[in-house]
Structure 1
Amino acid sequence: MADLSDNQKKTQIPPPKEGFSLGGQAPNQSFGAPAVSGSQASDFWQSDQTKNLGTDTGLSKPGPNQNLSTSKFQLPPQDIQVVSRQSSVVSRQKNQIVPEQQPPTTAPQPSAPNPRPSASPTQDARIIAKETLDQREAEKVFHEGMLSVRDIIAPAAFVINPGYLQLGDTFCKTLFVYTYPRYLEANWLSPIINYDITMDIGLHIHPLETANVMRELKTQVGKIQSSMMIAQEKGAPRDPELETALGDVEALRDVLQRGEVRLFQLGLYFTIYAHTLEELGTLTKQLESTLGGMLIYTKETLLQMDSGFVATAPLLRDAISVLRNLDTGSLSSVFPFTSSELTQEDGILYGVNRHNNSLIIFDRFNLENANSVVFAKSGSGKSYMIKLEALRSLMFGTDIIIVDPENEYKNLCDAVGGSYLRISLNSQQRINPFDLPRGLDPEKESGEDILRSTISSLHGLINLMVGGLTPEEDALVEKGLYEAYALKDITTDPESQKNEPPIMQDFYNVLSNMNGTESITRRLSKYVEGTFAGLFNAPTNFELKPGFVAFSVRDLEEELRPVAMYTILNYIWTKIRMDMRRRLMIIDEAWWMMQYEDSAKFLHGLAKRARKYYLGLTIISQDVEDFLSSRFGKAIVSNSSMQVLLKQSTASVDIVAETFGLTEGEKYLLLESDIGEGLFFAGLNHVAIKV
């Protein structure tokens, strides 16, 4: 073969590989591959992907001196599939569909069977689109089966009625304010915020452009002056309402012009929640009455209850748009910057208000009564809090009397120089339960009242000692008590009540001489002649001194503790009535007395009458459920103007929440509180406290 020129060398076509033919048929006709025209081949070479394909298969672009217009060449079926697949890949890349890596080409195999033709680019795109759609559908189904926040907070049902909404088992309705008085006092919204009901309040504030307001006010001034001139021309008397309106508008224009205030539009909405429709109606009337007393009038969002609910939800959407114009000063009085505060000029420090870090300084004797109850689980800091209250009250001249079942107050009593009296079988101190109060004002309590109340207290003590009385025995005991006092010449005459009172032995002797009292005397004998003889069968040998006095019953047998606590309280009550002064009586572990009806009844009577004798009764209990399960326990709580709830257990928090009307947030606060933290109730106000 002759040598080729340099130009011809550059354009020389390499010899075709096996299975390819240019300008003729392929030697292997068994493939049955279709022929490709020269123009198609030319387009084929223009693609970058096809250039790579040609290089991989040993093909080169034809030179300029070669004419392929009439030439034909055949590709094996495998290479045709590669071209089709590469074209579809290019098409998908242009459409930004998931990229596909270019598959490597393989050399043709003459003996390979005829493969299935590849899909067109359109069909391939449809397949990918269908796969993407199926994947998205699968993801949607998967996410529908997952728990979301909306599933947790959504009610079981949302029923829209013309006059109320029903959210599961809860009913609610929304009210809007449509008029305000001429003057608004500071913190006028505070009574509503501290209202002891479940309620949402929505404040929607829209600032107005001062320039637009000034133009509108100028127009209003012209209208008012025109009305006044027309009335004057008609000879009508002056209209104070128009003059007042003109003065208000002019004053507002002046302060707006000086930039001292701005004008706003306010939308104020209240959504009330209740468990029943009757309760919802009652709460609505109470709210309307409270606001009406301040000349602020409301209406219900009838036929728009769903819009009202949205207006008070934290969604920043005012779907009601009942707006009123207020200046800066009036608007500032609406802001709920206040919270319940229990700070007075006099009183003692109880702790820190956890809402606003203010001090809780309070005098319990300024309330309707000075009684207090403290409920907390063991180790929550209730004894520490009561010791602080006792010590600080003592510094202000209040006498402190404590019934201490566990010797917790001995160190404090010794530190302040108080009297610590041990009541036990081995101690020297004795209390005569038959003592009568002396020196009482005859105008307040007659001799008959004194004797009757003493016998009533003794009747409960005897019932507690013998473990219960039948109606017949009850009558015999009452008769025996009167006869025991008669033996000492004590009658309803106040002068006779100065005589030495009887003791338990005298009463026992009287019962022994009566018919039908064998069972009573047999059960009572252990307090006179048996194991417990001497504890309640001797004259009182000490006096209740002013200052700090504590009675210890720790060394008493468990069977005697309720009887001893009853006797001690009866003695203290007798002495308090004889010398009225400011006192605090603290009864720790009061659940001991609530176990028996007679002692619980006595404690309840003490709580009701303490106010008349300048006495503040403090009852402490860690067994909340047992205390509140008694009918007298709830009555004692109702007669206590101050209540302290520290950390509670999960077993008792529900009954505490029900008794004190706590919200869910307050209930969880008691469960999560640290030592010395809880809720402090004083009258109608309550705050979170940290001692």
Structure 2
Amino acid sequence: MAKKKDAVDIAAEQRAREQAEVEQAFLKGVNTLRDLIAPSSLEFHADHFRLGTKYGRTLYIYGYPRQIYTGWLSSIINMDEVLDVSMFLYPVDTQIVMQNLRKKVTQLEASMSINQEKGKTRDPGLEAALQDAEELRDELQVGSEKFFRYGLYITLYANSMDDLTFVQNKVETLFGQQLVFSKVASSQQEQGLNSTVPQLMDQLQIRRNMNTGAISTSFPFTSADLTQEKGILYGINMHNNGLVIFDRFTLENANMVVFAKSGAGKSFTVKLEAVRSMMTGADVLIIDPENEYQRLSDAVGGSYIRLSLNSDVRINPFDLPKVIDTDEADDALRANLVTLHGLLRLMLGGATATNTNVTLSPEEEADLDQALIDTYARLGITSDPLTHNSMPPTMADLYDTLLHMGGSGPKLAQRLRKYTSGTFAGIFSQQSNIEINNAMVVFNIRDLEDELRPVAMYIVLSHIWNITRSQRKKRMLIVDEAWQLMKYEDSANFLFSLAKRARKYYLGITTITQDVEDFMGSKMGRAIVANSSMQLLLKQSASAVDVLSNVFKLTEEEMKRLSNFPVGQGLFFAGQNHVHIQVIASQTETQLVSTNPVEQLKQQQQQQQPGQTQ
């Protein structure tokens, strides 16, 4: 009986042993959370470490200037590099600090007395140290300051040792500019890594005495130089989740260019800026080639002017600005003659559908110039500003002048006939019947023929420019699909001249295009970018990224992001600074400015549901 029981126990023990072995084998094959997040390898050296395929290096800060200012760490926080920043603050009992300061003050005063007795010259360093110690004692005594031990460590990451050294030099340069000194944690890279990963371990223990005021200046969540007290909200700074609030009229000029591929959110962003700028008292003028701004115009009570051959809208390019400034009034006629020269070259040659290289000969240029002067003179308008209030001539008057003059006049009149009595007659050959007297005015040119679009954009720009010169007021001019003007030399030159002179008349021009290569391939296109203090680069095609990187000196990381940005994200440049921005809008604003067809269809369906008011 005992033998049978022993056999049963042995069998049970064997089964238990086998089961334990199976469980151990099973557990060996299970990935724990630690296995999932751990790197494939970790290798430490004296001045760097290797984390998988990445290289890293930890620096510590050991020296600070006597005075340090708010936001001194923001340049490091907002670097477009991969780095970890770790801060450790250890409160120190005020009573202990007071005792140590008392001893320090006594030592400093004794040193100064000894120097005076020996007849030595004053030591500015001793005097400054004594003054700082006395001030700190007073502040600690009344409780306005506390005392801390402060440690600041930074771990840098890169794909190679050369890149790691490059990033280290950038960081040390930024620190050195502010008299903040750093060192590599030699032979302590493991402790440095442990001190900067989020596990609350200060293994380096390199600290500096600081009071509350000094430590507060290192607050890491400062905005990246693109936040002002006044202005409009453009979006969120993706570097630090700060708000990008900016007033474009505070820059050297208020011009802006927006580059993006179709569907990246450029119209959404520009319309959002327009409606927010109206809240600050700015008037908004828009050239709309695709009927994208009508809903916004209707919502804010704006004027929507539809230009087409079938509409009753008329704009006379011969209108003269009612300039108040005496000096400018003397040049008003001459300036308009120059503008008309560019327009007529576009109409008579440059804007043909089949040949964009047709130009006027020198003889034709001379005859056209004389015809323009004679056309104004026939109605009593000369360089005398007192004559500028007379009824201006029209394109039909110029046609009649060319027809009855010698030289190449009749041939030019024949080429001009389609705009006076031919296919394109009416819209630009009669007296103007529109007024720009609204906070938002939209000129829609969608229904114009392709051949007439650049001419229409040129004439509308000229009309807006005359109004702008007549009355100085805070205005924004939005030129959508500006590449259509860049195709022709005269219209490109005219847009550039507006961008160059707009600041004088309190005007900010926003130029929008999705054909980056064509725009930047034009000499005038590059000049317009150079005369725009703000730029917004949203998602780009791969071919456009190389072009923009050369112009804006983008880093490799920014180039990678530029072709992969989600809708509404991009690089926002203002002056010499730029940030990664996320454009945001409220639900109400989104309904007004969205051009997403899915969202528009959804809104129409909601409005058509029974029981809802229109």
The alignment partner of 1:188 has SS state of coil
User: 2:429 matched to 1:541?
Assistant: no
Quote the residue 1:556 is aligned against: 448
What residue is the counterpart of 2:307 in the other structure?
423
2:87 counterpart of 1:203: yes
Alpha-carbon distance in structure 2 between the residues aligned to 1:192 and 1:511: 71
Is the aligned partner of 1:268 residue 2:149? Answer: no
1:465 maps to amino acid: A
Amino acid at match of 1:505: Y
Question: Partner of 1:550: helix, strand, or coil?
Answer: strand
C-alpha distance in 2 between matches for 1:514 and 1:197:
64
Stretch of structure 1 that moved more, 491-500 or 634-643 = 491-500
C-alpha change, 1:485 and 1:255, in structure 2 (3 Å) is closer
Which of these residues, 12, 16, 19, is aligned with residue 99 of structure 1?
16
Tell me how far apart the structure 2 counterparts of residues 511 and 175 of structure 1 sit (CA, whole Å): 82
Q: Counterpart in 2 of 1:8?
A: none
Percent identity reads 40
Partner residue of 2:399? 505
Paired amino acid for 1:586: I
Paired letter, 2:345: H
Q: How far off its partner does 1:459 sit?
A: 3.4
For residues 336-389 of structure 1, the C-alpha deviation after alignment (integer angstroms, 9 at most, x for no partner) is 243358665554566788999998764321222222345678788866765565
1:615 alignment partner, one of 497, 500, 507: 507
Change (3 A) 1:463 1:607: farther
How far off its partner does 1:322 sit? 4.0
**1:474 pairs with 2:359:** yes
Q: What is the rounded CA distance, in whole Å, between the counterparts of 2:421 and 2:365 in structure 1? A: 19
Instruction: Tell me how far apart the structure 2 counterparts of residues 511 and 280 of structure 1 sit (CA, whole Å).
Output: 75
| TM-score (normalizing by structure 2) | 0.68
Q: Distance in 2 between matches of 1:596 and 1:313?
A: 57
2:214 match: secondary structure: helix
Q: How does 1:113-152 map onto structure 2 within 5 Å?
A: 132=21, 148-150=36-38
Structure 2 unaligned segments of length 5 or more: list them: 586-614
Distance 2:500 2:44 in 1: 47
Residue 333 (structure 1) aligns with = 217
1:465 to 341, 347, 351: 351
* Aligned match of 1:104: none
Mapped partners of 2:562, 2:311: distance in 1: 45
Deviations 1:238-294 (A, max 9, x none): 655435434544555666677765433323344566789998888766655554454
Indicate the residue corresponding to 2:588 in structure 1. none
In 1, the alpha carbon distance for the partners of 2:138 and 2:148 equals 16
CA offsets 1:550-601 (integer angstroms, 9 cap, x no match): 3222322344333322332233234434554432212344455466676556
Aligned counterparts, 1:385-534, within 5 A: 389-390=273-274, 393-394=277-278, 397-410=281-294, 419-433=303-317, 439=323, 442=327, 451-452=337-338, 454-456=340-342, 458-460=344-346, 462-467=348-353, 473-474=358-359, 476=361, 479-489=363-373, 494-495=383-384, 500=393, 505=399, 514=408, 526-527=418-419, 530-534=422-426
Task: Point out which structure has higher relative CO (alpha carbons under 8 A, 6+ apart).
Answer: 2
Deviation at 1:479, TM superposition (A): 4.2
Which of the residues 179, 193, 203 maps onto 2:63? Answer: 179
Indicate whether 1:671 and 2:556 are aligned.
Answer: no
**Displacement of 1:323:** 2.7
Tell me if the contact between 1:429 and 1:540 (Cα under 8 Å) persists in the aligned partners: no
| Letter paired with 1:459 | R
The CA deviation string for residues 53-107 of structure 1, in whole angstroms up to 9 with x for no partner, is 35xxxxxxxxxxxxxxxxxxxxxxxxx7x677446457x4xxxx7627xxxxxxx
Decide whether aligned partners of structure 1 residues 159 and 452 sit closer, same or farther in structure 2, where only a CA change above 3 A counts. Answer: farther
In structure 2, C-alpha distance between the alignment counterparts of 1:507 and 1:197, rounded to whole Å: 66
Closer, same or farther: CA 456–139 of 1 in aligned 2, 3 Å: same
Cα 1:197–1:594, aligned 2, differ >3 Å: closer, same or farther? farther
Displacement of 1:486: 0.3
Task: Map 1:529-678 onto structure 2 (within 5 A).
Answer: 530-536=422-428, 538-542=429-433, 544-548=435-439, 549-590=441-482, 592-593=484-485, 599=491, 602-620=494-512, 623=514, 636=528, 639-643=531-535, 671=566
Structure 1 position 219, deviation (Å) = 5.1
Task: Please state whether the residue corresponding to 1:690 is helix, strand or coil.
Answer: coil
Distance 1:169 1:524 in 2: 69
Distance in 2 separating the partners of 1:668 and 1:239: 59
Q: For residues 137 and 278 of structure 2, what CA distance do their matches in structure 1 show?
A: 60
Query: Alignment partner of 1:489: what SS?
Result: helix
- The one-letter code sitting in structure 2 at the alignment partner of 1:422 is R
Q: Which has the larger radius of gyration?
A: 1
Structure 1 SS opposite 2:449: coil
The 5 Å alignment of 1:282-301 reads: 288=172, 290-299=174-183
What is the distance in 1 between the residues matched to 2:527 and 2:46? 40
Post-superposition offset of 1:295: 3.6
Q: 2:213 is aligned with what amino acid?
A: G
Distance 1:655 1:312 in 2: 36
Q: Amino acid of the residue matched to residue 436 of structure 2? A: K
Count of aligned pairs: 564
SS of the residue corresponding to residue 203 of structure 1 reads: strand
Unaligned runs of 5+ in 1: 1-52, 55-79, 101-127
Residue 351 of structure 2 aligns to a residue whose secondary structure is helix
Partner of 2:597: none
Q: Deviations over 1:130-189 (max 9, x none)?
A: x93x98678757869x994446xx79x989796x88989988766543322223333433
Instruction: Say which SS state the counterpart of residue 359 (structure 2) adopts.
Output: helix
Confirm or deny: 8 A CA contact 1:433 1:458 kept in the other structure.
no
Asked if structure 2 preserves the Cα contact closer than 8 Å seen for 1:353 and 1:690, the reply is: no
SS at match of 1:565: helix
- Per the alignment, residue 115 of structure 1 pairs with none
Report the 3-state secondary structure (helix = DSSP H, G, I; strand = E; otherwise coil) of the residue aligned with 2:129.
helix
- What is the one-letter code of the residue matched to 2:306? R
Report if aligned partners of 1:481, 1:507 keep a CA contact under 8 Å in 2: no
Counterparts in 2 of 1:463 and 1:598: CA distance versus 1, 3 Å: farther
- Whichever residue aligns with residue 148 of structure 2, its letter is F
**What secondary structure, in the 3-state scheme, does the structure 2 residue paired with 1:572 have?**
helix
- Asked if 1:365 corresponds to 2:257, the answer is no
> How far apart are 1:426 and its partner, in Å?
1.9
Q: Distance in 1 between matches of 2:498 and 2:162?
A: 37
Change (3 A) 1:181 1:570: same
CA deviation string 1:408-449 (max 9, x = no partner): 545665677655433211223333446666757647996877
Q: Are the equivalent residues in 1 in contact too, given 2:221–2:242 (CA < 8 A)? A: no
Counterpart CA distance in 2 for 1:554 and 1:441 is 39
